[in-house]
Structure 1
Amino acid sequence: MRDTIAPLLDVAQLKTVFHTRSGAVHAVNSVSFSVAPGELVGVVGESGSGKSVTMMSLMNLLPRSAEIVGGEVLFQGRDVRAMNRAELLRLRGRDVGFVFQDPMTSLNPVFTVGRQITERLRKHMNMSRAEARVRAAELLSLVGISDAARRLQDYPHQFSGGMRQRVVIAIALACDPKLLIADEPTTALDVTIQAQIIALVRDLRQKLDMGIVWITHDLGVVAGIADRVIVMYAGQIVEQGPVRELFARPQHPYTRALLETLPSVTGARSERLRTIEGQPPSLGGAPDRCPFAPRCAHTFGRCLTENPQRIEVGGGHDVACWWDPQTGEMRHV
């Protein structure tokens, strides 16, 4: 059983604040989750829900205006927040790989693809120049780029969008990381390339037994690849559980609303897509009430005075909500 394996990544009560001229923005609020070796965890939510900031906080990849004000991040039992700069650089370069949203901003346009891959290999794997080039060609072949040895000499602009994303994945995988964090890796790609990238990541996960955090707004992608799903709203985890359990029995009104916005393959052509009414809340203050209450159709008085904590509802499935969808009444906790 995977839940008996020591977690690869263990996050507890993580809090991140941005300091702005208008005051503090509480972007990540008491986030707790774990990732086991070989597990793929999908993180979903609207834009601005805190998905990317949470993952950047894990390895302290934040701008100067941001500050981690609380919580614990353990990677294989090591306290990431206590690491010095050299230890962090090694962790990011060797043990944790990142795939960011836009491959063009992730790749340096003035250096060849080969140089950008071999630089990491020489720094973190102590390879010679010749060894690094051989390994770089192997990595490009691994991610499905043909004539890899020759293409090491090419620059990012000489690759298509899908190929550039494959190069970014190759760089992230260069040092055989134990954890891969993929932030919207298929955004802006056409559906054919999306399918190829998803199949590639699924195949590499099996080969390398990596833990993967896959950040996306696409519930359809998550349903097809994830073991477990985390639903975020207003910088908090409002629900998480095994993917089949969560899709079959969503407990939070926000999760249910997200699922209802998916287009039906059997619906009438004239049927309008559903939307979630209202706007996400301001994050200018620490949460002292349910952040979804203004947009929720199942609000109780307690929702306006107390922020619910996550409670177990069975089978590794938990939710932060006072409403019980089985009874339609408030939970007694």
Structure 2
Amino acid sequence: MLDDAATAQPRASGEAGEAVLSVEGLTTLFGVTDGAIHAVNDVSFSLRPGELLGVVGESGSGKSVTMMSLLRLIPSPPARITAGRVMFEGRDLLALSPAELRAVRGPGVGFVFQDPMTSLNPVFTVGFQIIEPLREHMGLSKKAARARAAELLAVVGIPSPDKRLDDYPHQFSGGMRQRVMIAIALACEPKVLIADEPTTALDVTIQAQILELVKDLRRRLGMAVVWITHDLGVVAGIADRVMVMYGGQVVENAEVGALFENPAHPYTRALMETLPSVEGARREKLRTIEGQPPIMTRRPAACPFAPRCAQAHDRCLAANPPLLQVAPGHASACWLAEGAA
């Protein structure tokens, strides 16, 4: 069961453990006219069976590109994965042929994209789009695949599922389309589900329904989940562990309780300070993080957050810190964390 699953530790802790997915030194560039955008820089993490890893950071921090790079879903060109390994079931996904990788997508790793309206094909029924991977990857007959597709729509909470299989994406609301995307991602019962900000464009009621759905599916299927978001409130409610990204790199990695009780990186603390107060009587102006995210035309030679950090000193401007252990299972890429463990 999911709730009994062990919580994975960041690589900096030195406790690798059994991982269903292990990423080592992932680096992704985007070629532009006058050089390259260093979108992902030496990212490493692992994911254990049944674990939910929350990946947070501002827009442009590298969250989505990192996860799309794992399955080589980014267009090449202009993107190039220049370094790293992505180990899944003993194989490096970055070294697989296109045909071998297609066999992993779906039954091995499912992906829920951020915008279901652009991800679903408008000229095919939702039933066809669920049935196709079932027939290709699981070898089901047309009849059996249709029955399974109806079951999946029922699992994600869509009423009259057998009838709705024959509807087109435009006939569904935004929340229902997102549920269809989850059904497609779950069709082949993947061991890992990657969800890229799946609730961002939904109203709060539908967001809550989707979050409850994911919790329920984790309990029933025992799959590992990577949940990409900019919403720390969502992460606090569903994650086992949190990976904070900034400037295309991991700046903090910790169990969710440790992160909220003792955020070690100045960027993580700044993100938390932007959260609205839960005290109804208070009407404070929301805080912001001063300055702008880095322009990633070069790989950071110094701490990428230093220009926006009130605690920055000369060393921060001279060298980019590695992930340093703050406590067991808790690492921070900040020179202030040196010697903290």
Question: Aligning the two structures, in what range does the TM-score lie when normalised by the shorter sequence?
Answer: over 0.9
**1:273 lines up with 2:283 in the alignment:** no
Q: CA deviation at 1:5?
A: 4.8
CA contact (8 A) 1:7 1:76 kept: no
The partner residue of 1:248 within 234, 242, 261 is: 261
- Between 1:88-97 and 1:130-139, the stretch displaced more is 88-97
Q: CA deviation at 1:43?
A: 0.1
Aligned residue for 2:107?
A: 94
Q: CA deviation at 1:33?
A: 0.3
Gaps of 5+ in 2: 1-5, 9-15
Question: Following the alignment from structure 2 to structure 1, what is the Cα–Cα distance between the partners of residues 121 and 319?
Answer: 47
The partner residue of 1:10 within 22, 41, 57 is: 22
Aligned residue for 1:43?
A: 55
Question: Following the alignment from structure 1 to structure 2, what is the Cα–Cα distance between the partners of residues 70 and 11?
Answer: 11
Amino acid at match of 1:70: A
Segments ≥4 residues shifted beyond 3 Å: 1-5, 267-270, 330-333
Q: CA deviation at 1:270?
A: 3.5
TM-score (norm. length: structure 2):
0.94
Q: Per the alignment, do residues 26 and 126 of structure 1 end up closer, same or farther by CA in structure 2, a change over 3 Å counting?
A: same
Aligned residue for 2:165?
A: 152
CA contact (8 A) 1:50 1:236 kept: yes
TM-score (norm. length: structure 1):
0.96
The partner residue of 2:318 within 291, 305, 327 is: 305
Aligned residue for 2:3?
A: none
Amino acid at match of 2:25: Q
For 1:129-163, what per-residue CA distance to the aligned partner results, in whole angstroms no more than 9, with x for missing partners?
10100000000000011111111111111111111
Q: Per the alignment, in what secondary structure is the counterpart of residue 68 of structure 1?
A: strand
Aligned residue for 1:226?
A: 239
**1:172 lines up with 2:210 in the alignment:** no
Question: Following the alignment from structure 2 to structure 1, what is the Cα–Cα distance between the partners of residues 69 and 250?
Answer: 15
**1:70 lines up with 2:83 in the alignment:** yes
Question: Following the alignment from structure 2 to structure 1, what is the Cα–Cα distance between the partners of residues 66 and 150?
Answer: 33
For 1:202-225, what per-residue CA distance to the aligned partner results, in whole angstroms no more than 9, with x for missing partners?
100111111100000010000000
Question: Following the alignment from structure 2 to structure 1, what is the Cα–Cα distance between the partners of residues 189 and 330?
Answer: 31
Amino acid at match of 2:304: P
Q: Per the alignment, in what secondary structure is the counterpart of residue 130 of structure 1?
A: helix
CA contact (8 A) 1:234 1:280 kept: yes
Question: Following the alignment from structure 2 to structure 1, what is the Cα–Cα distance between the partners of residues 307 and 106?
Answer: 42
Identity of aligned residues (%): 65
Question: Following the alignment from structure 2 to structure 1, what is the Cα–Cα distance between the partners of residues 282 and 260?
Answer: 24
**1:111 lines up with 2:124 in the alignment:** yes
Q: Per the alignment, in what secondary structure is the counterpart of residue 52 of structure 1?
A: helix
Q: CA deviation at 1:106?
A: 1.1
Q: CA deviation at 1:76?
A: 2.0
Amino acid at match of 1:235: G
**1:135 lines up with 2:144 in the alignment:** no
Aligned residue for 1:316?
A: 329
Q: CA deviation at 1:315?
A: 2.5
Aligned residue for 2:217?
A: 204
Q: CA deviation at 1:265?
A: 1.4
Amino acid at match of 1:52: S
Aligned residue for 1:56?
A: 68
CA contact (8 A) 1:111 1:155 kept: yes
The partner residue of 1:21 within 25, 30, 33 is: 33
Aligned residue for 2:11?
A: none
